């Protein structure tokens, strides 16, 4: 296989194992480029890409932008807060107005699940989902799995615990799909109120006790409490959440096991992770961010091949 099957990357759910491996192999080559003195290749110099963000982002937006620049693409950035969306323009009108200026690819983040799927169905250009509400965040899951493979040598049969606010997390859903396709065992850990009932049908183990989850896993992927997506109270206070589910050095010493610590960011230090863990030698949080550029270069490069 040397191409992705779809014109878009909307989620991990419909990606095959072979496609994920192709993205990883391509990312390996781009990672090598990123470690050269001149960190740039002309692969996408013929393309113009629009980054269309209807929701806040630091890592994903900068990572896509840098990946596009490293591939020599022309880029434009759209932010809904300062756009004519505020004047009532529809999503599709906005996208079509961007495309008519000879834009070839859309990278899109939107608070509504399915928004990039709707756009992808209605345009010929490729769409990359940079996170749609609580649904999927495919490039985050790809860079997470890629970083686990880099750290542990393989993913098959490794035990990954995803800890925290599963109910409001697109990262959790995309990670479950990616890790299971690559042969990992996945456990979800958090208070019952933050673990949706349907999710056990995805073949994951559920655990409410953080010590049990940490004793079980090789890797703990710790998620942020997504207060901006919570309409109700799911636990009494952040202080209490931190007391029962926060990971600190003392807890890891009690477990007495070498566990790899991951976090997609942004971290709420002192809530889900203490600095003595986030900044420890066990943490690969900044490796995740670094690898995100190579993964996104690979995704956009491979999608561009479908247009030639």
**Among residues 7, 13, 59, 151, the one that binds ligand CP under rule CB under 6 A:** 59
11 binds ligand CP (CB under 6 A): no
116 binds ligand CP (CB under 6 A): no
Contact present, 19 and 4 (Cβ < 8 Å): yes
| Pick 58 or 209: Cβ nearer ligand CP | 58
266 binds ligand CP (CB under 6 A): yes
Piece of the chain touching ligand CP by CB under 6 A; list 56-64, 144-152, 230-238, 295-303: 56-64
159 binds ligand CP (CB under 6 A): no
| Pick 43 or 140: Cβ nearer ligand CP | 140
Name the nearest CA neighbour of 283 among 305, 263, 303: 263
Dig out the tokens for 145 from the structure. Answer: 């799995």
Helix axis angle, 285-305 relative to 59-70, nearest 10°?
50
Number of residues that bind ligand CP (CB under 6 A): 9
**Closest distance between ligand CP and the C-beta of residue 48, in Å?**
22
**CB count, 10 Å around CB of 202?**
14
**Among residues 116, 190, 264, 293, the one that binds ligand CP under rule CB under 6 A:** 264
Dig out the tokens for 275 from the structure. Answer: 């600095």
Partners of 52 in the beta sheet? 78, 108
60 binds ligand CP (CB under 6 A): yes
Contact present, 216 and 186 (Cβ < 8 Å): no
CA distances from 197 to 142, 169, 188, 192, 193 (A): 25, 14, 12, 9, 9
Piece of the chain touching ligand CP by CB under 6 A; list 55-63, 95-103, 118-126, 237-245: 55-63
Quick note: the x/- pattern for ligand CP over 128-157, rule CB under 6 A, is ---x--------x-----------------
Pairing of strands 205-207, 185-189: parallel
Interface residues with ligand CP (CB under 6 A)?
Answer: 57-60, 131, 140, 264-266
């Amino acid at each position: 296989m040397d191409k992705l099957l779809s014109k878009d990357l909307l989620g991990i759910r419909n990606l095959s194992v072979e496609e994920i491996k192709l993205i990883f192999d391509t990312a390996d080559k781009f990672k090598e480029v990123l470690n050269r003195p001149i960190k740039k290749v002309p692969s996408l110099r013929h393309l113009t890409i629009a980054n269309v963000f209807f929701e806040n982002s630091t890592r994903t937006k900068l990572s896509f932008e840098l990946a596009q620049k490293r591939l020599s693409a022309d880029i434009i950035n759209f932010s809904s807060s300062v756009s004519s969306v505020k004047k009532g323009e529809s999503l599709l009108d906005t996208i079509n107005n961007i495309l008519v200026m000879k834009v070839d690819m859309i990278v899109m983040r939107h608070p509504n699940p399915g928004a990039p799927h709707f756009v992808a169905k209605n345009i010929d250009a490729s769409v990359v989902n940079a996170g749609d509400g609580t649904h999927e965040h495919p490039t985050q899951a790809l860079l997470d799995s890629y970083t686990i493979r880099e750290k542990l040598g393989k993913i098959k049969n490794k035990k990954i615990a995803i800890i925290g606010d599963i109910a409001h997390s697109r990262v959790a859903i995309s990670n479950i799909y990616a890790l299971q396709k690559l042969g990992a065992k996945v456990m979800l850990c958090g208070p019952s109120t933050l673990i949706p009932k349907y999710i056990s049908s995805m073949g994951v183990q559920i655990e409410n006790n953080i010590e049990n989850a940490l004793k079980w896993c090789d890797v703990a992927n710790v998620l942020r409490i997504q207060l901006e997506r919570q309409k109700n109270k799911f636990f009494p206070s952040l202080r209490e959440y931190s007391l029962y589910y926060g990971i600190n050095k003392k807890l890891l010493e009690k477990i007495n096991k070498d566990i790899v610590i991951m976090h997609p960011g942004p971290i709420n230090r002192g809530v889900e992770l203490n600095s003595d863990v986030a900044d420890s030698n066990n943490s690969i949080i900044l490796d995740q961010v670094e690898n995100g550029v190579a993964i996104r270069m690979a995704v956009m490069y491979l999608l561009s091949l479908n247009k030639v």
